[in-house]
Structure 1
Amino acid sequence: MTAEIEQKALGPFAALIGAPDGRKRLNTPSLILDLDVFDANVARMQAICDANGVNLRPHAKSHKSSRIAQAQREAGAIGVCCATINEAEAMAVAGVGGLLITAPLVTDVKISRLCDLCARAPDTMAVIDNADNALALSAAFAGRPALNVLVDLDIGHHRTGAVDPAAAFKLARMIAATPNLTLQGVQAYGGHFQHIPDAAKRGAAAAQGREQLKALLALMRDAQLETGIVTGAGTGTHGLDGSSGVFTEIQAGSYIFMDAEYATINYEGGDWPFGFSLFVQTSVLSANLPTQVTTDAGTKSFALNGPPPRIVSASLHGAAYGFAGDEHGRVMLEHGMGRPQIGERLECIVSHCDPTVCLYDYFVCVRGQKVVDVWKIDARGRA
C-alpha cells in the first residue's frame, strides 16, 4: 500500500476520532475493537497466568498487530508467539521482543529470513520436529550466534511435532549435540483441544495430552537436557494447562477478542472470564423483501471456518446472519422483529477471530460510541 493510498484509507477513520457518535458513522464493513473489553481481557488473562505461576506468551496470529503485541507486553507478557516468519518480522520491526515462531521453518528462503530476523531480534526462538531441519538450521547459523530452539511434540493434533515422546526425546538429544543450536525446552500445543464444546471432555483430552508431555519431560530430565521452557495451551485450555504444573508458559491468543466459535463452548468455571471485544459493522443496503434484508458484509468480510456471525445490534439481536455472495450478507427476519431501514448499521460478533482479522487493514478502536484510535494490522498480507 503506497503512502498516498494508505492516507486516503485512513482519512475517513481519522476524521471520526473523538467524535461522540463516530462509531455510528464508519465506512462499512469495518472491523471494530472495543477497547474497554479488550483492556479487561488482556488484564484478566495476565492475572490468571500470574496466579497460576506461569508466563504468558500470547499468540500474535490472532491479532497480527504489533500495537496489540506491545499492549500485551506492557501488561506482563514475556513475548509473543508467531505462526509465520512474516508475523515475526513485523513484530521485530516494531520492536516487539520475546518472539517464538511456533511452526517449523524448513525452506531455504524462510531459513535465510530467520537468520536475518535473529540478527535484529537475537532472543527469537524456533521449533524443530525433524532432524533434517535441525541440520539445515545448524548449517545456516554457522558463524552466527546460536539459534534458540524448542523440540516440538505432537500431542494428538497431527499437524506438526515429533510423533511421540520417544521420537521427540531422540530429536532433543540430537539437537543438544548439534552445533549452532541451543535447546531451550519443549513446545506441545494441543490446538485440537481448544474448541471441544463440553468442558469435561475438553479437560480430559487436555489431560491426556499432558501425559504425553510429562513422559517426554521425564526422559529429557533424566538425560539432563534443557526443559526450562515448556510452552503450549490456548484460550480453551488456559486454566487447565496453566494450573497443571506442567507448562511454564501459555500461548493463548483468542482471549483478547473471543468469537462466535468460543460462544458455543462451555467454560469449566461457568462463564468465560473474557468478553467479546471484536465486531464487524455492516450496513443494510437493501430491504425490499419482507423476510430479509441485505448487508454489505459477505464472505470477504468474515472468516468462513466457524459458526455464522452473531448479530448483537438490539434491533435484530438473535436474527440469523448468512452470506449472499462475496460482498453481501443476508439477515433473515423472524416474525415480530423490527424491520431495519436502508443505511442502518448492524454489528456482529465475528465467526472466527483470527482469519477474520486478516481480511482487514485496520482495527477501528472505540470506547462506547466514540472512535478513539485506529490501529494498523501490520503483520497481515506480508510476502
Structure 2
Amino acid sequence: MRRSDVPTPALLVDIDILDRNIASMRDAAAALGVKLRPHAKAHKCVEIAQRIMAAGAIGASCATIGEAETMALGGIGGILVTAPLTSSDAIERLHRLLLRGADIAVVADHPASVAQLAAVAAGAGRTLDVVVDIDVGMGRTGCAEIPDAVALARQIEAAPALTYAGIQAYWGNLQHVSPFAERARLIAIQTERVRAVIAALTSAGLPPAIVSGGGTGSHRIDAATGLFTEIQPGSYLFMDSCYSAVSISENDNPFVPSLFVAATVVSANKPGRVVVNAGWKAFAADSGKPVALRGGPPGASFRFMGDEHGALDFEGGGGPKLGATVEFLTSHCDPTVNLYGAFHVVRGDEVVDIWPIRARY
C-alpha cells in the first residue's frame, strides 16, 4: 500500500524517525547516567514497546492496569504502574497478572492501598514491589507530606508480601514550561522537595533504591540533579506541536515528529478553504489545533467543523484537490493515539506494516 492510499482518517508513524527518536533517548539516558523506563501511555502498542526494549530500556511505565496487561501479555518485563490501583476491578486484574508471573511493580500513596496490595500479593503467592508516590506540585496523586511518605514506606517494608522499592516523583505540569531556563528554575524548587524526601527516608533506614520520574520535556534537567535512578519519558517517540515548540534541552530539540494523522479532502468548493474528513474524533484537542504538514497549503490554519470534519483555511490558490491526502501534526500525541485502533507504519511513501494499538482500555 502507498502512503497516500491509507483509508482515512488514519494514524501514521514513520518507522525510521521513530527508531531515531528511540536511539536518541537511549543515548541521552546513557550519557546522563540514568536508566530508561519509557511510558507506554504514549504508544499503547506492544510492537513499539518491543523496539524500545531492544534498544536497552529496563521496562515500561504504564498509566493503567490495561496498559500493564497488554505489555505483560506481549512479553514486556520491568513494568511499573505509575498511578495507584484502588478499584476492585484493577486489584483483581493485578492479581491475575501476578498469577501469570508478570514482572510488575506498582505505586501507592495511601495506607489503605498498601493493605489492599499486600492482600492481593499474598493471595497470589508473590512478593510485589511497591514504589511510594510523592506529590511534587501537581496535586494529582502522591503523598503530600514527607512524614506520610516515610510512614507509608515503613508500612510497605513491614508487609510480608510487599517490598519497598523506592519513590516516584513526576512533575507533568512542568514538561512544557518555556523558556528552558524557567522550566529548570521551577523544577529546581521541586527537586529540593525530592531531596528532602530522600533524606528523610534514608534517616529512617529506608533509602530508596529507585527514584523514578522525568518526562520528555524535563528528562535532561531531572537526570542532572543526580537524584533520579530512572526516567519515564514517552512523547519523545512521536512528538507533537506542543513539544516541538519548546526546547527539550538548553540549546536544541533532538526529537523529530514521527506521528501524523492522515485525512482526505472531501470538499473543495470555496476559494481558500478545503474540508477534510478529520474533526473532533480524529484529534485530541486539549492542547490546541493540529497543524497541516504534508499535502497542506503553506501557512494553512485548521478549524474543527464537527466530529468528522475540519477545515483548512489558506491564502491564495493552489490548495489540495478533492480526494487529496493531507497529513497533520497533532497538538497532543498521547490522547490522539488513544483515538485509533492501529498505526499504519510508513517508510518513505510505502506502508510497511500495521501495528495494533491494543492498550486503549
Both structures adopt the same fold (TM-score exceeding 0.5): yes
- CA RMSD between the two structures: 1.3
Looking at structure 2, the residues matched to 205 and 170 of structure 1 have their Cα atoms a distance apart, in angstroms, of: 27
Query: Letter of the aligned partner of 1:230 in structure 2?
Result: V
1:295 counterpart = 2:264? no
Residue pair 1:42, 1:256 contacting (<8 A) in 2 also: yes
Residue among 96, 115, 119 paired with 1:135: 115
- 1:124 matched residue in structure 2: 104
Residue among 60, 68, 81 paired with 1:101: 81
Residue pair 1:231, 1:250 contacting (<8 A) in 2 also: yes
Displacement of 1:337 after TM fit?
4.8
Residue among 275, 281, 284 paired with 2:265: 284
Displacement of 1:322 after TM fit?
1.4
Spell out, residue by residue over 1:332-354, the C-alpha distance to the aligned partner (whole angstroms, 9 max, x if none): 122x3522210111111112100
Looking at structure 1, the residues matched to 299 and 272 of structure 2 have their Cα atoms a distance apart, in angstroms, of: 15
Looking at structure 1, the residues matched to 176 and 331 of structure 2 have their Cα atoms a distance apart, in angstroms, of: 13
Deviating runs (4+, > 3 A) in structure 1? none
Looking at structure 2, the residues matched to 92 and 169 of structure 1 have their Cα atoms a distance apart, in angstroms, of: 30
Residue among 226, 241, 246 paired with 1:265: 246
1:192 counterpart = 2:173? yes
Query: Letter of the aligned partner of 2:257 in structure 1?
Result: F
1:232 counterpart = 2:213? yes
Query: Letter of the aligned partner of 1:166 in structure 2?
Result: P
Q: TM-score, normalised by structure 1?
A: 0.91
Spell out, residue by residue over 1:264-319, the C-alpha distance to the aligned partner (whole angstroms, 9 max, x if none): 22333322100000000111110111231110011100001112111112551321
Displacement of 1:152 after TM fit?
0.4
Looking at structure 1, the residues matched to 91 and 128 of structure 2 have their Cα atoms a distance apart, in angstroms, of: 11
- 2:155 matched residue in structure 1: 174
Give the aligned length.
360
1:256 counterpart = 2:202? no
Partner secondary structure for residue 375 of structure 1: strand
1:89 counterpart = 2:72? no
Displacement of 1:195 after TM fit?
1.4
1:156 counterpart = 2:173? no
- 1:5 matched residue in structure 2: none
Looking at structure 2, the residues matched to 147 and 226 of structure 1 have their Cα atoms a distance apart, in angstroms, of: 18
- 2:338 matched residue in structure 1: 358
Displacement of 1:98 after TM fit?
0.6
Displacement of 1:165 after TM fit?
2.1
1:243 counterpart = 2:187? no
Partner secondary structure for residue 39 of structure 1: helix
Per the alignment, do residues 339 and 142 of structure 1 end up closer, same or farther by CA in structure 2, a change over 3 Å counting? closer
Displacement of 1:25 after TM fit?
1.3
Residue among 211, 218, 222 paired with 2:203: 222
- 1:348 matched residue in structure 2: 328
| Structure 1 residues without counterparts, runs of 5 or longer | 1-15, 17-21
Looking at structure 2, the residues matched to 64 and 52 of structure 1 have their Cα atoms a distance apart, in angstroms, of: 26
- 1:371 matched residue in structure 2: 351
- 2:25 matched residue in structure 1: 45
Partner secondary structure for residue 330 of structure 1: strand
Per the alignment, do residues 112 and 226 of structure 1 end up closer, same or farther by CA in structure 2, a change over 3 Å counting? farther
Spell out, residue by residue over 1:12-51, the C-alpha distance to the aligned partner (whole angstroms, 9 max, x if none): xxxx1xxxxx011111111100111101000000000011
Residue pair 1:350, 1:356 contacting (<8 A) in 2 also: yes
Per the alignment, do residues 123 and 226 of structure 1 end up closer, same or farther by CA in structure 2, a change over 3 Å counting? farther
1:307 counterpart = 2:288? yes
Residue pair 2:296, 2:327 contacting (<8 A) in 1 also: no
Residue pair 2:150, 2:204 contacting (<8 A) in 1 also: no
Spell out, residue by residue over 1:197-255, the C-alpha distance to the aligned partner (whole angstroms, 9 max, x if none): 22111111111111111111111112221411100010000111122210000000000
Q: TM-score, normalised by structure 2?
A: 0.97
| Structure 2 residues without counterparts, runs of 5 or longer | none
Displacement of 1:364 after TM fit?
0.6
